[in-house]
Amino acid sequence: MEPYTDEMHEIFREQFRRFCIKEIAPLVDEAERTQTFPRHLFPLMGRMGYLCVRYPEELGGAGVDKITEVILREELSRVCQGIASSWSGHSHLATYPIYRLGTEEQIQKYLVPAIKGDKIGSFALTEPDAGSDTKSLRAVAIKQDNGYLLRGAKTFITNAPIADFFVVAAYIDKSLGYHGIGLFLVDAKTPGLTVHKMDKEGIRSSDTGEVSFDDCLVGTDALLGGKEGNFNLLMETLSEGRVGVAANMVGVAQAAYEAALRYAKERHQFGQPIGKFQAISHLLANMVTQIRAARLMVFAAARLIDQGKPCILEASTCKLFASEVAVQAARDAIQIHGGYGIMSEFPVFRYLRDALVYTIGEGTSEIQRNIIAKQIGL
C-alpha cells in the first residue's frame, strides 16, 4: 500500500470508519427493511466534511485527492452499500457535471447547497430503452422562446424519490448525433416532473425511482453551462465514477470477507473451527488475495486521476474486476455460513444482492470488457 497511501490517508480511514460505525451502522437494518435512505445523513455528513469531498474548500468541500475519496467509499460500503450508493449518486454523479461545467449561478444554486447536504441531487441518465447505449436516449428538450420543454422518462434513478434537483440528459438536436445531447438542471418541484419509487432486491436502503417529464418547461438558465453538446462530459463523469464504484465494491468484498472469517473462527464442526478445514481456509485465502488485488487496482486508477492523466482502461478494468470479486466474495461468504448465510439476521446475503447490482450498474461487466477490448486495440 505504501506507493499509494500515506499516514494522513490512514488517519482519515480510521476517523471515517469510526463515524460509519457510530452514525451509519445503527441505521442499516431499518433502512434496508423500509427501503428508505436516512435523509438526515446528508446534512450530517455535510457538516462533518464527508459529503462531496473532492470539491474545493472555497465551495465548502474538503478538497481531498481521489485516493482519499476511494478510501471513504470503501469504508462506507463496508458498512452499507445501499447508503453508499445514495452518497455516490449525490456526491459524484449529480454534482460532478455542475462542478466541471456549471455557471457561477448554477454552482451557487445547486453545487454549494449540495456540498452542505442542504439539497440532494440525482443524475437522470438511464431510460427504459437506453441503458448501456447512452446514445440511444429518447428524452428530448424542445427549444422554446422562454426555455426548453422536456419530454421523456428515466428509470433506475438513484435518489429520485428524495431529490431536490436532477441533472437530466436529453437530446436537443438529434441531427447532431450524440453531440446534440444536453444536460439540464431541473428542480424536483418543476411542473410536469413526476417520480415513482421503485421496489428493489439490491441496494435497498438507496431510494431509487422512475422519473417522467411531461412537457416539463425549464428556463434557458437550466442548460448546464449554457452549452448544448455535453456528451463528452457525460462520459467523463461515468469514467471517473467507475473508479469510485470499484472502491465501493472493494468495501462490500471486505465486509463479506470479514464476516466469513469471523464465522469460520467461531463455528465448530467435527471438533474444530470450520476455518481449520482446507476447503474453508482456501476460500478465505482466495478472498483476501483478490480483495488486495482489487484495492491496488483502484488505488492505481485513483492515482492517475489525481495526476490528471487518462484512465479509461484503468477505470474499466478496476470496475470490472472489483465488482466480480465482490460477487464471488459474497457467494463464498454465504457458502461458509451454510444455512445461516440465507438468514436475514446475517448480512452476507445482503452483500451478494448489493454486489450483483454493480456487475450491471454504472456499466455492465460486458460493457467494461468492450471498453477494455477497444483500449487494447481490438
Q: Is residue 214 part of a domain?
A: yes
Cβ partners under 8 Å of residue 118, min gap 6: 43, 46
Distance separating alpha carbons of residues 155 and 167, to the nearest angstrom: 13
For residue 2, tell me if it sits in a domain. no
Overall number of domains in the chain: 3
Cell numbers given for 152 = 421523456
Domain that holds residue 27: 7-116
Read off the pLDDT of residues 251-290 as tens digits, 9 standing for 90 and up.
999 999 999 999 999 999 999 999 999 999 999 999 999 9
Give catalytic residues, as residue numbers. Answer: 362
pLDDT of residue 33: 94
CATH code of the domain in which 48 resides: 1.10.540.10
CA distance 362 to 126: 10
310 belongs to a structural domain: yes
Q: How far apart are the first and last CA of the chain?
A: 32
Report the DSSP pairing between strands 165-171 and 121-124.
parallel
Pick from 116, 140, 159: which residue ends a domain?
116
Residues 73 and 126 in one domain: no
Residues 249 and 218 in one domain: no
pLDDT at 178 (0 to 100): 87
CB atoms within 10 A of CB 225: 17
Q: Last residue of a domain, which of 83, 116, 149?
A: 116
Instruction: State which amino acid sits at residue 163.
Output: A
Report yes or no on 360 lying in a domain: yes
Residues 17 and 131 in one domain: no
CATH code for the domain of 251: 1.20.140.10
Average pLDDT, 10 consecutive residues per value, the chain (378 residues): 82 97 97 95 96 95 96 98 97 96 97 97 93 88 94 97 97 92 96 96 96 96 92 90 97 98 96 96 98 97 94 96 98 96 92 96 94 96
Residues 327 and 246 in one domain: yes
Largest CA distance in the chain: 80
Same domain, 240 and 371: yes
Tell me the pTM.
0.95
Q: Is residue 205 a part of any domain in this protein?
A: yes
Nearest-angstrom CA–CA distance, 79 and 88: 14
Residues 237 and 371 in one domain: yes
CA–CA dist 322, 354 (Å, integer) = 13
**Angle at CA of residue 242, ends 99 and 357, nearest 5°:** 120
Determine the pLDDT at residue 229.
87
pLDDT for 332: 98
307 three-state secondary structure: coil
Q: Which of 229, 261, 289 is the last residue of a domain?
A: 229
Cβ–Cβ contacts within 10 Å for residue 198, how many?
A: 15
